[in-house]
Chains A and B, each alone.
Chain A
Amino acid sequence: EAGVAQSPRYKIIEKRQSVAFWCNPISGHATLYWYQQILGQGPKLLIQFQNNGVVDDSQLPKDRFSAERLKGVDSTLKIQPAKLEDSAVYLCASSFDPGHSTGELFFGEGSRLTVL
């Protein structure tokens, strides 16, 4: 079974530039998550999709971050314009749980963003 795929693995940009990250979840997983992991901290949820609908985006800085999952499969997270404090690893995860909270998350290897 293929895992969660993310790209790019690494990205370096200047502040005020834009960047986009892509995620393809495990086949059949309805729920997709984007987490931000700042060095030395645990992952923080940015946005959660159930199929192509947003379940929770309460912690997404909507003035600069956006995400979509148009066909209910892969997803894109965009940052525009980037700030220095956006330097982090962006983790995509998926889970099967059809409306329940008991399922574990399956994570991709992450996209490391450095903003200079």
Chain B
Amino acid sequence: AQSVAQPEDQVNVAEGNPLTVKCTYSVSGNPYLFWYVQYPNRGLQFLLKYITGDNLVKGSYGFEAEFNKSQTSFHLKKPSALVSDSALYFCAVRGYNNNDMRFGAGTRLTVKP
């Protein structure tokens, strides 16, 4: 079965600095990879996904993610962090013909002014 690891429980960055939230995955065959964000007392909101094609995927709110097949990674990035980016971020993976979307444990991003 597919799985996702988010090695950092917490990431702290200063406003204006670049941010990276790490994700590695395990799946049989080609992966479908997703990033979601969760604000307090809210459901998860979709940010971006990688299905096929260009390894650099651009999404909502200036976020992007880079798919690296050799390292089985899909790190989330943003060139310049905002205080409003502070939230819980989840990486998720699905395999081809597999409907179960598996989520990582989440990484709490804190952006300080």
Contact = CB atoms under 8 A, between A and B. Distances in A.
Contacts of B32: 101-102
Of the listed residues A41, A101, A107, A109, the one surrounded by the most CB atoms of chain B closer than 10 A to its CB is A101
Nearest to A110: B43
A56 interface: yes
The residue among B36, B43, B98 with the most chain A CB atoms within 10 A of its own CB is B43
B43 A56 contact: no
Contacts of A91: 43-44
Interface stretch (B12-20, B67-75, B77-85, B103-111): B103-111
Given A91-B44, A107-B36, 19 more contacts: A42-B90, A42-B92, A42-B103, A42-B104, A42-B105, A50-B99, A56-B99, A93-B43, A101-B32, A101-B96, A102-B49, A102-B51, A104-B34, A104-B46, A105-B46, A105-B101, A107-B45, A109-B42, A112-B41
